[in-house]
């Protein structure tokens, strides 16, 4: 089933906008803008499912709009259908090369526009589902390593471009091997799930996330967070896991499950590779273990 989608129509011709709106408004929620500039501003504040984009417009043209959409991580996956009176094969090929999903020639048939829009929305729905399934860890049902790597890479590039801070936390359950040995692997799995959910629940800002890094290790990515704030957040995570009070009688540092955390921050336009951030966090984690566990080291 296709749910009502948000569709942005970008065309400088008022009549075209009107006809397209009438064609699609019964099945979808329609937004209209008359220029490429306005389209790029609009998608910053509203998540749309599909864009129908005119090519020839005063100001920036449709090709340029598509290029800019593709460069931005929040808009690169929005399907774009070009709609144009430019019907040469070269124009059409250029549209596809830039990443358009479809190309409709003006004048258009409303029934065909409806069908093509529906096709693209169905493909998008399936792609979103696949993307979601490929990004979730099977045991804990939180984001997995693949999601972490892709998102960290994107956030690192964004931080470097904008000169904003970015913090990464590596989180490791203390004496977890002893937990498995003492309570069994099934109980170990349950413990991992509970810790994972406590970590995720502590992320209040929509831009922060925690992923399963592997085994009994997790990573948190905190965009726009400096070292001081990252340490505060790490404390919150440590408190959240302590508050679970999961008994661990075989632990060597406490009577319940605890975590150790390494913190790394890139700040003040400092440039180093994203893997170095993880390595720095890993170094902090190693020191946290070395200094008795249930600790946080930046
Ligand atoms: P430390 O405090 O130094 O981190 O000690 P540790 O025992 O937690 O560290 P170590 O790396 O020696 O052991 C990690 C353990 O985590 C070993 C492994 O069996 C367990 N583990 C990893 N993935 C899973 C999992 O999916 N389920 C369960 N039950 N255990 C897991
Ligand atoms: Mg036009
Ligand atoms: Mg470990
Ligand atoms: Mg461990």
Dihedral sign (CA 89, 48, 121, 141)? positive
Pick the residue whose CA is nearest to atom 26 on ligand 1: 215
Longest CA pairwise span in the chain (Å): 75
Atom of ligand 1 lying closest to residue 188 CA: 29
34 among known catalytic residues: no
Does ligand 1 come within 6 angstroms of the Cβ of 172? yes
Atom of ligand 1 lying closest to residue 178 CA: 7
Q: Who contacts 228 (Cβ-Cβ below 8 Å, separation ≥6)?
A: none
Q: Which residues of the chain have pLDDT under 70?
A: 1-2, 271
- Give, in order, the Cα–Cα distances in Å from 63 to each of 60, 70, 181, 244: 8, 11, 60, 53
CA distance 12 to 65: 13
Distance 283 CA to ligand 2 centre (A): 56
Q: What is the dihedral of CA 278, 281, 283, 288, to 10 degrees?
A: -150
Q: pTM of the prediction?
A: 0.78
Which-ligand-closest: CA of 288? 1
Pick the residue whose CA is nearest to atom 29 on ligand 1: 188
Q: 179: exposed, middle or buried (C-beta count within 10 Å: 0-12, 13-18, 19+)?
A: buried
Atom of ligand 1 lying closest to residue 177 CA: 7
Does ligand 1 come within 6 angstroms of the Cβ of 184? no
Pick the residue whose CA is nearest to atom 31 on ligand 1: 215
CA distance 146 to 130: 13
* Cβ atoms of residues 9 and 21 within 8 Å: yes
Q: Angle at which helices 89-97 and 62-71 pack, to 10 degrees?
A: 10
Does ligand 1 come within 6 angstroms of the Cβ of 189? yes
ipTM: 0.96
Which-ligand-closest: CA of 286? 1
Radius of gyration of the chain from Cα atoms?
24
Tell me the pairing of strands 166-173 and 259-266: antiparallel
Ligand 1 probe mutation, 177, 190, 192, 218, most atoms within 8 A of CB: 177
Q: Who contacts 202 (Cβ-Cβ below 8 Å, separation ≥6)?
A: 210, 233, 236, 237, 240
Q: Which of 244, 24, 40 is nearest to 116 (CA)?
A: 24
Which residue of the set 216, 232, 267, 280 is catalytic? 216
Distance 210 CA to ligand 1 centre (A): 18
Atom of ligand 1 lying closest to residue 176 CA: 8
Which helix (DSSP H) or strand (DSSP E) does residue 135 occupy?
A: none
* Cβ atoms of residues 230 and 208 within 8 Å: no
* Cβ atoms of residues 256 and 248 within 8 Å: yes
Distance 188 CA to ligand 1 centre (A): 9
Q: Angle at which helices 14-24 and 110-134 pack, to 10 degrees?
A: 70
Which residue is it, tokens 């960290």?
A: 152
Length of the chain: 298
Q: 245: exposed, middle or buried (C-beta count within 10 Å: 0-12, 13-18, 19+)?
A: exposed
Pick the residue whose CA is nearest to atom 24 on ligand 1: 215
Does ligand 1 come within 6 angstroms of the Cβ of 176? yes
């Amino acid at each position: 089933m296709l749910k009502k989608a948000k569709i942005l129509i970008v065309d400088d011709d008022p009549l075209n906008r009107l006809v397209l709106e009438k064609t699609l408004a019964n099945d979808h929620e329609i937004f209209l803008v008359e220029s490429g500039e306005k389209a790029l501003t609009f998608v910053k504040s509203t998540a749309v499912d599909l864009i129908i984009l005119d090519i020839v417009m005063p100001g920036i043209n449709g090709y340029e709009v598509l290029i800019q959409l593709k460069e931005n991580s929040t808009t690169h996956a929005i399907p774009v259908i070009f709609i144009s009176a430019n019907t040469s094969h070269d124009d059409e090929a250029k549209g596809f090369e830039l990443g358009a999903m479809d190309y409709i020639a003006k004048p258009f048939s409303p029934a065909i526009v409806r069908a093509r829009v529906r096709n693209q929305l169905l493909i998008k729905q399936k792609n979103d589902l696949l993307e979601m399934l490929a990004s979730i860890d099977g045991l804990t049902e939180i984001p997995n390593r693949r999601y972490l790597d892709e998102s960290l890479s994107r956030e690192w590039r964004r931080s470097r471009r904008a000169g904003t801070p970015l913090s990464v936390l590596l989180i490791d359950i203390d004496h977890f091997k002893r937990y498995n040995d003492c309570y069994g692997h099934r109980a170990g799995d349950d413990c991992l799930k509970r810790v994972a959910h406590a970590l995720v629940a502590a992320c209040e800002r929509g831009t922060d996330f925690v992923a399963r890094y592997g085994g009994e290790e997790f990573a948190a990515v905190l965009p726009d967070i400096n070292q001081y704030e990252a340490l505060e957040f790490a404390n919150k995570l440590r408190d959240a896991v302590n508050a679970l009070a999961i008994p661990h009688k075989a632990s060597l540092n406490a009577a319940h499950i605890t975590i150790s955390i390494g913190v790394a921050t890139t700040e003040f336009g400092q440039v180093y590779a994203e893997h170095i951030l993880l390595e720095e966090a890993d170094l902090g984690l190693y020191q946290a273990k070395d200094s008795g566990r249930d600790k946080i080291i930046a």
